[in-house]
Structure 1
Amino acid sequence: MSATIHTTNPATGQPLAAYEAWDTARIESAVERAHAAARAWAKVPATERATRVGHLASVLREHRETLAHLTVTEMGKPVGEAEGEVSKSALTAAYYAENGPGILADERVEIEGAEAWVAYEPIGLVLAVMPWNFPVWQVMRFAIPSLIAGNGILLKHASNVTGSALALQSLFVEAGFPEHLVTALVIADGDVPEVTAGLIEDDRVAAVTLTGSNRAGAAVGSAAGRAAKKSVLELGGSDAFVVLDDADAEVAATAAVKARFTNSGQSCVCAKRFIVAAPAADAFTAAFVAGVQALRIGDPRERATQVGALARDDLRAAIQRQVEESVAAGARLLTGGEPVPGEGYFYQPTVLADTGPGMAAFDEETFGPLAAITVAQDDEDAVRLANATAYGLGLSIWTAEPGRGVALARRITSGAAFVNAIVASDPRLPFGGTKRSGHGRELAAAGIREFTNTRTYWVTA
């Protein structure tokens, strides 16, 4: 075990930094220190933990530009979106600083002849396996509630954002959290499966959370099951964006461009399958394609850029394969469909029409700037098409009658349903998926309690 991790600027293809991956002895030492820090942290009152999280919100705001710059250079996100990611993390920290102790407060239960209550107590050290697409937010949306709950964190971040992982570790200390309470593990990609499985089995690790691919989720979920440990898995999605026949097609199309191409399309909750009622299809498609063609692709450091580079060249190759296979299966290419010539891992914002079940762009998760349009004949057909996926993360429905949208949403399986709005995460609401999009919830009260021991107390005189 042990190697060198190299990071690359995806906008240029040039190397950024090299990090020595940890060997077994260094990982063991880090786990032991993290475990000790977590045991001590569990004894700190929730109100004091909340105070530290409040400091974290301030520190995040102070370091917004530095963290955003790391995000831009390590995974190619446009700078405005990178700054927004840090600001959202700060907002989440402020939310939990204010509301966390109340969520964790004992809940009294009226039982005759006894005093009873439910307590939410720390469970210990939690392993977090995090992805590269939101290097700051993905970590913070799990870490903040978990720390408020009194737990410690072992962070295995994606190797291509190692610089961000180490920066976040330092930031927690600067915010006043104890050293080693949040520990970023530097592990070579080839060692990740073995190390992760070993950590999940380790008695010092109480639970695991992962955001990533289905393959990674299956491995982590299986290991957690064998060890009888709690797991939360967020495994991506192929969200449906449903436009009904009474919707304002141009308004929906404007929202659809943002819903699909935020973060250059590299988001679990990006809308990916655009299911449009036949009467609205022509108007929606024309407005959507025009909006996509107007997107500005370029240097993610420039504020005018709306679509940056894909994080890795293999991701760009995957999008190209999905486009080619879908066109071969009968889809029509309306715009884009090719890598952008020159340095970096850029891909043209792409729209396919006439897609449907059996095509790669419809069946698979498309993690990049590729949109698939499918025409539905009526509401029943829209429900059928929206449900024709292995995933179940988010759903967006557009209609002139919100009640109709809610009624339709109840017939489609997903972890969240938004009517006349783009799917997004919010610290006040639970976030997570169903089916192959995973299980468990992050954010809100559900997220803070996922990694607590929900403990019953019964006391008689």
Structure 2
Amino acid sequence: MLTYGSYIAGRESFSDEWTYTVRASAMLDDVIGSIRVKRDLDQGRMPAEQAPDSVVGRCAVADRHDVDAALAAAAGAVRRWAARPLRDRLRFVTELHRLTREKHDEIVEMLVAEGHPRALARWEVSGIVVNTSPETVEFLAGQLEQHIPAGERRFTVRRVADGVVCLNPPQNATLANAMLGAWALAAGNALVVRAPRSAPLGVLHAMHELVVPALERAGAPAEVLSVVCSDAPQTLQQWLESPLVDDIMYFGGSEQGVAFGAECVRHGKKPVLELAGNDICVVWRDADLDLAATALAEAFYGSGQICMVPNCAVVHPDIAGELLDKLTERVRGIRPGMPEDPGVLLSPVRRTDAFQEVLDEALDLGAQLVSGGRRLDVDGTPNEVGGLFLEPTVVRVDGLKRSRLLRAVREETFFPLLPVVVPDRAPDVELMERIVEFTDANPYGLRNSLWARDTEVIDAFVAGVRGGGLLKVNDSHIGFLPVLPTHGGTGLTGGPCGEANYPALRTSHLQGVSVAAGIDPSGAVFADADAPADSNADAPADSNADAPADSNADARETP
């Protein structure tokens, strides 16, 4: 089996306490037996050498001293790493991209072992690849550092690393979200990652197989990265109290996350919050309904337990019936099964009782059940008592204003439940205004999308929807794109200071630099105030035209 200790200052640190990972398909095949095996191993009642083949790995559990050691190592390394030229730090991202492509199948298999359906695992790894693509590197290079020559002065506008960044990924997508820390490293920060005890193996594996060798190839100090598998409450409190910590990247529910963000501020830390999403997908009357239905079916990836899937559809009344028919047809093919099966999209759902409450409330308030609503066994057989899966469920809700009464529309539910809201009829211009207002009033703000052909409709939507970190038109709602952010948003998604999350930018701060040669300070103090209003009139419009062609090479060249 794979065995990982805490990774601190370039070395593994082992302990007497371990947490074991049992292959998810073995869990589904024999829940009670697998839980018993894991418990006996975790508690030391079964020697590791007697573990069955279903046990794929183990991770050492870190204590307070390990967490303190990780923070001390990070604080000692950050100044050296942040001082390295940007091109060296971006080389790390380029190497990470190359390694992720090389080990794509290996990382997918690790995710599958932890319970991610294969199709979902491939999507998650594609996000890492796109997020480190050459196009993304080139764009962020320009955001991180720009040089502007101006006579006897050379100006630099750059982003400077905050320092020690601590990252707490969510339990539902630990590996993919832990990898967002790569861009915090590229910005010059040192990074400490907490691998959740419930799913640590993928995080530690990815860090060892991808991030560590990429850092080594870029010549980074070994101490710039630490990874510990530890208890969440204790570790988060240590991070809050430590004078060595500058930023905390936190993933979780909105209510808890906003409160934690306030605690960060109270302790002098910058919170970078990745909280709940309640995304809206609008389908206009001239949309390609086949493609729109396919995009709406993305709501059921991972049983809806992903923050960036569409959580609510708003559909033009002229095409609502036809679209629902097409959506229902696609939903029939979405089924449970073992995660190794490439045709499976559904994951087990723990809170099936809460799903039933939300669904019953929607139906009591007038929603119509279009499809789904039952608990299922792994083979797709209905089982209302012990089924671990939920059937993909679609409900129709008539009326924009009335729909906000439903929790299924108002809140992120984290279930395979998609409400399709059909507004009351109105002239198209008025209807689009109402839909834009409805979408922009969403208290969450992760992603929103639109399906339409009319350019005036598209322009009205893009101009009017100010909330959210990402808008997509006529595209996969969940697909990743170079340059654009993969995460981040406004409102309950990102907290009071939420925005599109480029971790390199969120974990750094702006700084302006002027380097002069031959300037007389006595004449420079009031030079601008005394200059005539048209003092720049003779300057060419492209003031950088005389600068060497490679004047921005350090900022923009992809290593």
Q: Same fold (TM over 0.5)?
A: yes
8 Å CA contact 2:24, 2:339 repeated in 1? no
Per the alignment, in what secondary structure is the counterpart of residue 328 of structure 2? helix
Is the alpha carbon distance of 1:323 and 1:5 closer, same or farther for their aligned partners in structure 2, counting shifts above 3 Å? Answer: farther
Distance in 2, matches of 1:125 and 1:294, equals 46
- 1:373 corresponds to: 420
- 1:90 corresponds to: 129
- 2:173 corresponds to: 134
Per the alignment, in what secondary structure is the counterpart of residue 370 of structure 2? strand
Residue from 244, 247, 251 that aligns with 2:284: 244
Shift of residue 200, structure 1, vs aligned partner: 3.0
More deviation in 54-63 or 284-293?
Answer: 54-63
Is the alpha carbon distance of 1:272 and 1:87 closer, same or farther for their aligned partners in structure 2, counting shifts above 3 Å? Answer: closer
- 2:310 corresponds to: 271
Post-superposition CA distance 1:92-145 (Å, at most 9, x none): 3242555554443343375x88654323222221011212333333222x2222
- 2:484 corresponds to: 429
Distance in 2, matches of 1:295 and 1:152, equals 42
Is the alpha carbon distance of 1:361 and 1:38 closer, same or farther for their aligned partners in structure 2, counting shifts above 3 Å? Answer: same
8 Å CA contact 2:169, 2:195 repeated in 1? yes
- 1:454 corresponds to: 510
Shift of residue 341, structure 1, vs aligned partner: 2.6
Structure 2 counterparts to residues 321-360 of structure 1, below 5 A: 321-341=357-377, 345-354=388-397, 356-360=403-407
Post-superposition CA distance 1:35-70 (Å, at most 9, x none): 223333223322222223222222222322232122
The code of the aligned residue for 1:197 comes to Q
8 Å CA contact 1:243, 1:277 repeated in 2? yes
More deviation in 393-402 or 342-351?
Answer: 342-351
2:191 matches 1:153: yes
8 Å CA contact 2:194, 2:227 repeated in 1? yes
2:83 matches 1:46: no
Shift of residue 31, structure 1, vs aligned partner: 1.6
8 Å CA contact 2:133, 2:482 repeated in 1? no
Per the alignment, in what secondary structure is the counterpart of residue 155 of structure 1? strand
- 1:420 corresponds to: 474
Distance in 2, matches of 1:232 and 1:392, equals 15
Residue from 411, 436, 450 that aligns with 1:364: 411
2:263 matches 1:216: no
Distance in 1, matches of 2:281 and 2:366, equals 21
Structure 2 counterparts to residues 439-450 of structure 1, below 5 A: 439-443=498-502, 447-450=503-506
8 Å CA contact 2:375, 2:387 repeated in 1? no
The code of the aligned residue for 2:324 comes to T
2:65 matches 1:25: yes
Post-superposition CA distance 1:300-346 (Å, at most 9, x none): 201122x2323x523x4433332233223332222111221358732
Is the alpha carbon distance of 1:359 and 1:124 closer, same or farther for their aligned partners in structure 2, counting shifts above 3 Å? Answer: same
2:346 matches 1:287: no
Is the alpha carbon distance of 1:235 and 1:280 closer, same or farther for their aligned partners in structure 2, counting shifts above 3 Å? Answer: same
Residue from 94, 110, 118 that aligns with 1:70: 110
8 Å CA contact 1:239, 1:269 repeated in 2? yes
Scaled by the length of structure 2, the TM-score of the pair is: 0.73
Distance in 2, matches of 1:330 and 1:159, equals 42
Shift of residue 8, structure 1, vs aligned partner: 5.8
More deviation in 378-387 or 277-286?
Answer: 378-387
- 1:125 corresponds to: 164
- 1:186 corresponds to: 229
Highest Rg: 1 or 2?
Answer: 2
Shift of residue 3, structure 1, vs aligned partner: 7.6
Distance in 2, matches of 1:432 and 1:425, equals 13
Per the alignment, in what secondary structure is the counterpart of residue 90 of structure 2? helix
Distance in 1, matches of 2:314 and 2:196, equals 33
8 Å CA contact 1:309, 1:346 repeated in 2? yes
Distance in 1, matches of 2:146 and 2:291, equals 46
Shift of residue 282, structure 1, vs aligned partner: 0.7
The code of the aligned residue for 2:308 comes to V
Shift of residue 207, structure 1, vs aligned partner: 1.1
8 Å CA contact 1:206, 1:230 repeated in 2? yes
The code of the aligned residue for 2:483 comes to R
Is the alpha carbon distance of 1:120 and 1:455 closer, same or farther for their aligned partners in structure 2, counting shifts above 3 Å? Answer: same
8 Å CA contact 1:394, 1:433 repeated in 2? yes
Per the alignment, in what secondary structure is the counterpart of residue 136 of structure 1? helix
Is the alpha carbon distance of 1:383 and 1:104 closer, same or farther for their aligned partners in structure 2, counting shifts above 3 Å? Answer: closer
Question: What's the % identity of the aligned pairs?
Answer: 26
Distance in 2, matches of 1:126 and 1:392, equals 24
8 Å CA contact 2:308, 2:446 repeated in 1? yes
8 Å CA contact 2:468, 2:499 repeated in 1? no
Distance in 2, matches of 1:302 and 1:102, equals 42
Q: Which runs of 5 or more residues in structure 2 are unaligned? A: 1-15, 36-54, 379-385, 425-430, 520-559
Is the alpha carbon distance of 1:99 and 1:302 closer, same or farther for their aligned partners in structure 2, counting shifts above 3 Å? Answer: same
Per the alignment, in what secondary structure is the counterpart of residue 333 of structure 1? strand
The code of the aligned residue for 2:350 comes to D
Residue from 234, 237, 247 that aligns with 1:207: 247
Shift of residue 267, structure 1, vs aligned partner: 1.9
The code of the aligned residue for 2:159 comes to Y
Per the alignment, in what secondary structure is the counterpart of residue 500 of structure 2? coil
- 2:436 corresponds to: 383
Per the alignment, in what secondary structure is the counterpart of residue 455 of structure 1? strand
The code of the aligned residue for 1:375 comes to V
